Amino acid sequence: MNEKEFYIYLGTHLKDRIRLRFKKDKGQILDLVLQYETILNKKWVVIVRYDCAHGFFHRDLLHPNGDKEKKVIDIPDLKYGISFAKQDLEDKWEWYKEQYLKKLKNDK
């Protein structure tokens, strides 16, 4: 089994990134995690996570208060799941961050 992890930095300030981790065996993806992270108060904070924990592929939107919104996503295989999640996070990371920061402000 082969496990890999790497980062894709977003924007120009290196304060936003996608973390991609997956396990692969004989060319088949067995497990994956893609998450959008940003730096808040000098720490990396996860805002959106795609994974296949709990036995199904889904997206978790994380809230500053610790709550999560889980959405099941129907995909043909985990290889497609990587492409789907990566594209979504690259396209919408700024929106996800904006929504998170609004909730953070409202929680104070």
Question: What are the angstrom distances between the C-alpha of 81 and each of 42, 63, 102, 106, 108?
Answer: 30, 23, 28, 33, 35
Structure confidence by residue, pLDDT tens digits, 19-78: 999 998 888 888 999 999 999 999 999 999 999 988 899 999 999 999 999 999 999 988
Structure confidence by residue, pLDDT tens digits, 10-19: 998 899 999 9
Structure confidence by residue, pLDDT tens digits, 63-85: 999 999 999 999 998 889 999 99
Show me where the domains of the chain are located: 2-107
The confidence score (pLDDT) of residue 108 equals 63
Q: What is the 3-state secondary structure (H, E, C) of 56-91?
A: CCEEEEECCCCCEEEEECCCCCHHHHHHHHHHHHHH
